[in-house]
Amino acid sequence: MARQLFGTDGIRGLANASPMTSEIALKVGMAAGKLFTNGDHRHRVVIGKDTRLSGYMIESALVSGFTSVGMDVFQLGPMPTPAVAMLTRSLRADLGVMISASHNPYFDNGIKLFGPEGYKLSDETEAEIEALMAQGSEDLLAEPEAIGRAKRIDSAQERYIEFAKRTLPRKVRFDGLRIVIDCANGSAYKVAPAALWELGAEVIPIGVDPNGFNINKDCGSTAPSTLCKKVREVRADIGIGLDGDADRVLIADEKGRLIDGDQLMAAIAESWQSRGRLAGGGVVATVMSNLGLERYLEGLGLSLVRTPVGDRYVVDHMRKHGYNIGGEQSGHIVLSDYATTGDGLVSALQILGIVTSKDKPVSEVCSQFDALPQVLKNVRFKKGQPLDDKKVLKVIDESKGRLGQAGRLVIRPSGTEPVIRVMAEGDDERLVGSVVNDIVDALKSSAA
């Protein structure tokens, strides 16, 4: 059965409109709960959320669904996505749920599901959940005496903070470092500043005043100019920008210049290789990562393996082939020695650990290679399939020929919104820009 609700990262959409309604959330809870209630023990599900207004609505519906099929619910409140994955394992739960639309504006929301080991569910499991949702709810309900209970876990924040700190060697401290942390008014607004402060840093927090509407608004990793400006203003040593659910991170160096996920992966890979910690002989990234990263790793005798966009595909390849560093240019960085999904705070702590051990400024530690010119543009469409248009396909084919072996072209539909992303890169910046513009014009004409 093909999936209808689940996309590349769970279910996502406009809050209070299909598929992001209370009714569908209730059915997801019932179906997922039933699928994972298959033993003789008392079954548990962990639920976390970010700070969107609609999170209350979705959480209540999920709690009702899970308890109705006999699952006990542990509610964490606002917590990063990686914290939900970690606590799913730590609390020996059968299932974990994160209510978030990640870097999207407040009016969107989403549901991400994790299995008992803290990994996102497979396409096949998500299809099974959808099949159960299509059945009558009467077949899923537990007997009255088996209805589940719900309770809040008050220690969740402290558990995650201690977990994040333990990813560093015991003696590592950040005393003397002035750090700006932008939490995007999202799920890490309490835990991230607290973890940095407990490690000795002078912390300047921004994006820590969520009101239900301001998540990711002019702040966080998707609006990094705020972070860069603050770093320059307070003369900080580093700026850390998280997104709404804190599974991605971007860094600003001491000069207020932005550093993306490719550079961060390069810095961590070089450090881990020098200490004999790197597994798999390289790094796993997506088709969007810069060709400069690939060339840099080759210079170290390492490989760059590319997967489709989406951290779940990166993690899947890492698990199958024994890699322990992977991620995306956007700042999803997966360090599988510690986490089962992208973890913005843990990745930032690793960078800070390298900075302190080398006693060099962030600009030196995190500028490992010269990125090739890369242009990315998004084309929004309302109907049809522009990528099936013969005129569009002809322009794409011609563009590939123009780039030849000196560049790359990636065109893909978004898995979470009606957008086609067009990316090209190569040594010739003018050619790259021309290629992208030609394809974008063709797509707009088709979608008009």
Contacts of 117 (CB under 8 A, 6+ apart): 89, 340
| 311-315 long-range contacts, CB within 8 A, separation 24+ | 311/9, 311/247, 311/341, 311/342, 312/8, 312/9, 312/120, 313/286, 314/284, 314/285, 314/286, 315/119, 315/120, 315/340, 315/341
Nearest to 196 by CA among 269, 273, 261, 249: 249
* Whole-angstrom distance, CA of residue 149 vs CA of residue 193: 32
- CB proximity list for 320: less than 8 A, separation 6 or greater: none
Positions of E strands within 247-329:
249-252, 258-259, 282-286, 303-307, 325-327
Within 8 A by CB and 6+ apart from 269, the residues are 278, 282, 283, 297, 300, 302, 325
State the DSSP string of 34-58: HHT--SSSPPEEEEEE-S-TTHHHH
Residues β-bridged to residue 120: 114
Residues 6+ apart with CB under 8 A from 448: none
Give me the residues paired with residue 402 across strands. Answer: none
Determine whether 102 is an active site residue.
Answer: yes
* Beta carbons of 74 and 91 less than 8 angstroms apart: yes
> Strands of 374-380's sheet, edge to edge?
374-380, 419-426, 407-413
> One-letter amino acid identity for 365?
V
Which of 68, 100, 102, 187 does the annotation list as catalytic? 102
170 burial (CB, 10 Å; 0-12 / 13-18 / 19+) is exposed
Cβ–Cβ < 8 Å for 240, 181: yes
CA gyration radius, the chain = 22
SS3 382: coil
- Give, in degrees to the nearest 5, the angle at Cα 163 between 157 and 165: 105
Q: Is residue 369 exposed (0-12), middle (13-18) or buried (19+ Cβ within 10 Å)?
A: middle
Is residue 344 within 8 A of residue 83, CB to CB? The reply is no
Residue type, 18: S
Could you give the residue numbers annotated as active site? 102
